[in-house]
Structure 1
Amino acid sequence: MEAEMNRVAEVHTPKESRLEKIKPHAELIAAILSGVLILIGWILEKNDLTTASIVFFLFAFVIGGFAKAKEGIEDTIENKELNVEMLMIFAAIGSAIIGYWTEGAILIFIFAMSGALETYTMNKSHKEISALMELQPEEALVVTNGIEKITAVSDLKIGDLILVKPGERVPSDGRIVKGQTHVDEAAITGESIPVSKGIDEDVFAGTVNLNGSITVEITKASTETLFQKIIQLVQSAQSEKSPSQLFIEKFEGTYVKVVLAVVALMMFLPHFLLDWTWTETFYRAMILLVVASPCALVASIMPASLSAISNGARHGILFKGGVHLENLGHLKAIAFDKTGTLTKGKPEVTDVFVLEGLEKVEILLITASIESHSTHPLANAIVLYAKKELQKPLMTLDSIEDVSGYGVQASIKQDNWKIGKANFVGKAEADAFLNGVATKLSNEGKTVVFAKKNDVIVGVVALKDVVRDETKEAIKTLRKKGIYTVMLTGDSQSTASAIAAESYVDEFIAECLPENKVDELKKLKERFGQVAMVGDGINDAPALATANVGIAMGEGSGVALETADVVLMKNELPRIAEAIKLSEKMNRIVKQNVIFSISVIMLLIITNFLQFIDLPFGVIGHEGSTILVILNGLRLLKSN
């Protein structure tokens, strides 16, 4: 019995699989089959086989129009309001009543084709999510006391250790505790170049471990991973409609009622007022029913919006909805957080000065050796710089003491050393060192660390949160687009001035606390109207929410990602210009579609009233315009 059931399962599984593959194309197949039936019906009609031709036309009506008719009837019942689909049903039935079976069937055929194209757009858009979901593994190899066990990703807990072998995808967000490798992060950032990863560095679910086994400690639940957030963002973006789309949908209901009312009047008024025959009057009323339907207008926005959202997701730019995508193209100003947005967010050594007659290499080596015992970010930056520049092992200390808030003091070969602030080594002596070089460095927005040997300052190390390599180019591009740029920072006036000059922003506002950022955003909105905010930290979240469009850097805090309207999955500012370009292109295509569709409707209505157009051309003109606006919107899928 069990064997028989297995055989049945084997027989049915491929069939079910084939059905699943065919299902997304069902509307297109129905439309094509409808077209074939129309062709057969037309041939039969030409050979005077009228009854047989009507049978084929009826089949064409049912097969081609079923999906749209079902959608129209269900929406009408649910919303208690007539829609475009119902207009098409009435038009097709009306054509058949007056004996224009071929034209009615062609109307259904082209309407079915336009519906299939809309479905294709939706499927293409949803495929982006499906492709993302398929990238996340369902199982992970958990290591407990040296024993490996395959576990479902949904059962992983924070703190679990998992082994990720070369060629495997990382199952969940975590931190490397053992091993070195290169990781392909294209699924997260859209960047194809692999990233080198070592101990204490983060890895993300869905990324690919390329060439080394790594042990990863899970840091987030499977439902809270960055990968899951991306999927949720894309899903919410596809369901949220732009203001233009909402307006068109609201307009559609009123328009349909007006069209039906006008068609009802046209069924008898021209007969009495213009001396048309009853046949001509009814015929022109049916043409009006066909050509006045706003199918092209309704299809002007949604395919373009979905295509743009899918395109952005593919390039690492996530829009949380059509409203934000549309607004992005109307920006007049952008405010930037400094740390981690315009700058790298980590201090780097920029200058090293020592007393004349002393070896810079020796002073830097001793300074780094002492700082290696501190966890301060400035100390870490000095150690990293020394290791990279000197390629020498650090020295052993005789003693070390951390003086909280000031610096570190140590003993090396009976010499006493102090590394830290000016007040720690002597303010007057620090200001006078090398003719006031420290003051000059501070005016450039740099932080100065002094090195004092016994009773003499022997060197200074200058550090700065340096501007990202791509920042200048990104700001230049935005300025060319006529967008005003502002930097908001909590730093001092001197530091802010130096960074602003280096990054080419139009304006900067220094000593800006999180609540001040919100106030400054409100002022910018009063000055410019549409304003965006770009940030990455928890302190940026209120400002991101206040701006017309909040843009978060993908490597930023979770709060920033949740609050923002647009997320750049890779910390690259030039992608803002790409997102704006995509938005502008979408808005341009939507405008083209709306103008084109309204123009076609008006032209067809006028030519029908003047009795210049017949039903076949009315059908082709109306439904052809619908297909054209959908195809125009689909261009955004391929846009770079």
Structure 2
Amino acid sequence: MNPVAPTPKSKPSRSRSNRPSDRRQARKKARVNTRGLYLRAIRDAFIKLNPLNAIKNPVMFLVWVGTLITLSVTIKPDLFGPTTQKNPQLFNGLLTGILFFTVWFANFAEAVAEGRGKAQAAALRSTKSETTAKKLAPDGTITEVSSSSLRQGDNIYVVAGDIIPADGEVIMGVASVDESAITGESAPVLKESGSDIASSITGGTRIISDELIIRITADPGKGFIDRMIALVEGAERTKTPNEIALTVLLTVLSLVFLFVVATLPAFAYYVKSPVSVPILIALLVALIPTTIAGLLSAIGIAGMDRVAQFNVIATSGRAVEACGDVNTLVLDKTGTITLGNRLAEEFIPINGHSMEEVATIALAASVFDETPEGKSIVRLAQRLGARFDIDPNQAQGVEFSAKTRMSGTNLPGGREVRKGAVQAIKGFVRSRNGNDTPELDAAYERVSHQGGTPLAVCLDNEIYGVIYLKDIVKSGIRDRFDQLGRMGIRTIMLTGDNRITASVIANEAGVDDFIAEATPEDKINVIQREQAAGKLVAMTGDGTNDAPALAQANVGLAMNTGTQAAKEAANMVDLDSDPTKLIDIVSIGKQLLITRGALTTFSIANDIAKYFAIIPVIFAAAHLQSLNIMNLTSPNSAILSALIYNALIIPALIPLALKGVKFRPLTANQLLQRNILIYGFGGVVAPFIAIKLIDLLITAVGLA
């Protein structure tokens, strides 16, 4: 087998989905999908009425139990003693129906959120299929086996047109792979052996040119797509710490109100205004925070769904929620803050050497460098007339390493050409009894102050000049960092560049701090330092050397093009491999917490209005009509109006729970003030208006 670099015959065709007919078909398909989603949610909402499922939500379980009691009283009005209620079966029946739909609407909200995840899971599952794999034996023979029989450590052989049967790592060959089934990106991706990044390959993708030998890295059912399906579908969803804490708080509040309601009959009897069991249940349901309890699960599921729609797979809701609590972002400079792929802009001769000499030495140092930077140096040198006249088979390439911070070429006769960080080249030259000059420092500072990366080039013990590698800060990145600053999030840039260059880039980008000449160990050190100060830290990475730091960080975002080790260590994987997406994910996490806080505030504020709607009922016989501040028609209409509003507000808020409250880069105090003003004040006013309107409607139809 002799794999060669792929040469795709044609570029992917541009989408024509802007045509009117295509847009109409897309809208029709979206309507069909939405209709199917809601039909499934309606069915699932009934299934969730199972007591074993209902008890998972203690607040709504109280409503569920109340529904059964009012149903019993509807069937036998004198079950708890004689009643003075006029037409008690009609009134109790209406209460039963309203309480039932309160529970059902809460189930429906959760089912809609879960349904969106299941739809994504179905799309992912469609990419998985039982395929035939060409298993490679140690003696080189090939046996066709089912993909389900492959195990970690097996080697397989794939050629153009084959579906990759399982997750693996390329150990031989170079080929183009279509990953559109996973990432949605139609452009093929180059996969090759020996690369820390491009060797990782995902099951379900398709090889479109050449051939590869792949070592399987995951057993059946444990591959990347399998984990994605389980997580997106919600099969492995567990409540997050904040969600658990809020559930406990709501449960405690409900128990307090249950105790309050249980003691009311004694007071009502004392003032000669006895209260029936259905009315006590209605009061309890009005007081307990049913709105947020009914939407809490949907908010959490929708948070993961929004991350998934962003083409990011989170391993748990805990990871999404942790994004909302992040205090520190640790970001690489290249590819995240800057555009990456630094290109050679200029050669700067020193020590009396000519431009042609510097170009020739730079070409010799880069002839084996396959990185975009190395290729740009070769192109610039050739443009200036430089030539490499030595037989490549007679020379040996020296790869760059984070330890030496140099790369280059060993020429015939023992001569050594190197390029790399200025300090590293200085050390290399001194070790061979050479000297650096003030000219080198001047060129170094000139390039650094321009925000570029200076690389020195030398031949044996003599430095010839400096290569100016130009990098550009991404447009709009400063505004995004300013937003993070307003939220109280500290940003730290890591870069292998010298301190002057790092300072220029950091100032232009607007980051709070930077670490120059950073080594892989610096990443984990800075994370541990921030965590020791009580901060929650997020970072991105893609290489095997990033895995320890990704595992240490509270939020680790691995690139899909990264190594298997990086993806296993992280708690999020970006299918688009865009490091800047970490900033957006933090915003989604913040939005999740803001939405939960806003709807909790709204729910508790709602309880105030419902309380004042039902209290007049409790003491109606005592002729304390002054308590009827809303001037509702009758005790029955007050109860029915409050509970109808209580039930309808849950489906009314489902779109907000799924979409999330609009995110604004504000501090915690500003967010609290805004929530109190909008959702607190609004949560008090809205029920008064709605309950009054429902009361008028009930009176008009003669149910009061």
Which residue in the other structure is 1:572 paired with? 578
1:89 is the counterpart of 2:68: yes
Which residue in the other structure is 2:42 paired with? 28
Which residue in the other structure is 2:185 paired with? 192
Residues 136-285 of structure 1 aligned to structure 2 (within 5 Å): 136-142=128-134, 149-155=144-150, 158=153, 160-166=155-161, 168=163, 171-175=166-170, 177=172, 180-181=175-176, 183-185=178-180, 187=182, 190=183, 192-197=185-190, 199-200=192-193, 201-202=198-199, 204-206=201-203, 208-209=205-206, 211-212=208-209, 214-222=211-219, 225-228=223-226, 230-231=228-229, 234=232, 239-273=237-271, 275-276=272-273, 278=274, 281-285=276-280
> What SS does the aligned partner of 1:446 have?
strand
TM-score norm. by structure 1 comes to 0.71
Shift of 1:153: 4.3
1:124 is the counterpart of 2:116: yes
Task: Using the TM superposition, name which of 607-616 and 560-569 deviates more.
Answer: 560-569
> What SS does the aligned partner of 1:239 have?
coil
Long gaps (5+) in structure 1: 1-20, 32-63
- Cα contact 1:185–1:208 (8 A) shared by 2: yes
Which residue in the other structure is 2:126 paired with? 134
Note closer, same or farther for the CA distance 1:449–1:562 as it changes in structure 2 (3 Å cut): same
Shift of 1:573: 3.4
Which residue in the other structure is 2:303 paired with? 308
Note closer, same or farther for the CA distance 1:24–1:393 as it changes in structure 2 (3 Å cut): farther
Inter-partner Cα distance in structure 1 for 2:37 and 2:515? 56
> What SS does the aligned partner of 1:307 have?
helix
Which residue in the other structure is 1:322 paired with? 317
Shift of 1:139: 1.6
- Cα contact 2:302–2:658 (8 A) shared by 1: yes
Which residue in the other structure is 1:479 paired with? 482
Residues 270-419 of structure 1 aligned to structure 2 (within 5 Å): 270-273=268-271, 275-276=272-273, 278=274, 281-338=276-333, 342=337, 349-353=344-348, 360=356, 364=359, 368=363, 372=367, 382=374, 385-386=377-378, 390=382, 395-397=389-391, 399-400=394-395, 408-410=409-411, 418-419=416-417
- Cα contact 2:70–2:278 (8 A) shared by 1: no
Which residue in the other structure is 2:107 paired with? 115
Inter-partner Cα distance in structure 1 for 2:507 and 2:521? 25
Note closer, same or farther for the CA distance 1:170–1:92 as it changes in structure 2 (3 Å cut): same
Deviations 1:66-125 (A, max 9, x none): 85253367669xx9x974432333344345534122442343245324323322322322
Which residue in the other structure is 1:500 paired with? 506
- Cα contact 2:344–2:467 (8 A) shared by 1: yes
Inter-partner Cα distance in structure 1 for 2:135 and 2:546? 39
TM-score norm. by structure 2 comes to 0.66
Shift of 1:245: 1.7
- Cα contact 2:162–2:206 (8 A) shared by 1: yes
449, 454, 463: which is aligned to 1:446? 454
Deviations 1:295-317 (A, max 9, x none): 32212322112112012123222
Shift of 1:593: 1.7
Percent identity, please: 18
Inter-partner Cα distance in structure 1 for 2:655 and 2:462? 76
Task: Using the TM superposition, name which of 420-429 and 147-156 deviates more.
Answer: 420-429
Which residue in the other structure is 1:68 paired with? 49
Q: Tell me the matched-pair count.
A: 566
Residues 22-61 of structure 1 aligned to structure 2 (within 5 Å): 28-29=42-43
- Cα contact 1:532–1:547 (8 A) shared by 2: yes
Structure (1 or 2) with the greater helix fraction: 1
Which residue in the other structure is 1:105 paired with? 97
- Cα contact 1:308–1:586 (8 A) shared by 2: yes
- Cα contact 2:594–2:661 (8 A) shared by 1: no
Long gaps (5+) in structure 2: 1-34, 78-87, 419-424, 618-631, 664-704
Note closer, same or farther for the CA distance 1:510–1:183 as it changes in structure 2 (3 Å cut): same
Shift of 1:608: 0.7
Which residue in the other structure is 1:50 paired with? none
- Cα contact 1:369–1:396 (8 A) shared by 2: no
Inter-partner Cα distance in structure 2 for 1:192 and 1:638? 28
> What SS does the aligned partner of 1:107 have?
helix
> What SS does the aligned partner of 2:126 have?
helix
Shift of 1:159: 5.8
Note closer, same or farther for the CA distance 1:122–1:401 as it changes in structure 2 (3 Å cut): closer
Inter-partner Cα distance in structure 1 for 2:601 and 2:646? 14
Inter-partner Cα distance in structure 2 for 1:268 and 1:510? 73
Which residue in the other structure is 1:13 paired with? none
> What SS does the aligned partner of 1:450 have?
strand
Which residue in the other structure is 1:626 paired with? 650
> What SS does the aligned partner of 2:295 have?
coil
Shift of 1:460: 3.8
Which residue in the other structure is 1:52 paired with? none
- Cα contact 1:342–1:503 (8 A) shared by 2: yes
> What SS does the aligned partner of 1:149 have?
strand
- Cα contact 1:72–1:84 (8 A) shared by 2: no
Residues 526-541 of structure 1 aligned to structure 2 (within 5 Å): 529-537=535-543
Note closer, same or farther for the CA distance 1:207–1:340 as it changes in structure 2 (3 Å cut): farther
Inter-partner Cα distance in structure 1 for 2:380 and 2:159? 30
Shift of 1:197: 1.9
The alignment's C-alpha RMSD in Å is: 4.8
Deviations 1:179-218 (A, max 9, x none): 643523462xx45341342654436324543753543423
Note closer, same or farther for the CA distance 1:237–1:326 as it changes in structure 2 (3 Å cut): farther
Inter-partner Cα distance in structure 1 for 2:284 and 2:602? 19
Note closer, same or farther for the CA distance 1:215–1:153 as it changes in structure 2 (3 Å cut): farther
Question: Residue type of the partner of 1:68?
Answer: L
Inter-partner Cα distance in structure 1 for 2:300 and 2:50? 25
> What SS does the aligned partner of 1:68 have?
coil
Shift of 1:400: 4.1
Inter-partner Cα distance in structure 2 for 1:626 and 1:91? 21
Question: Residue type of the partner of 1:397?
Answer: D
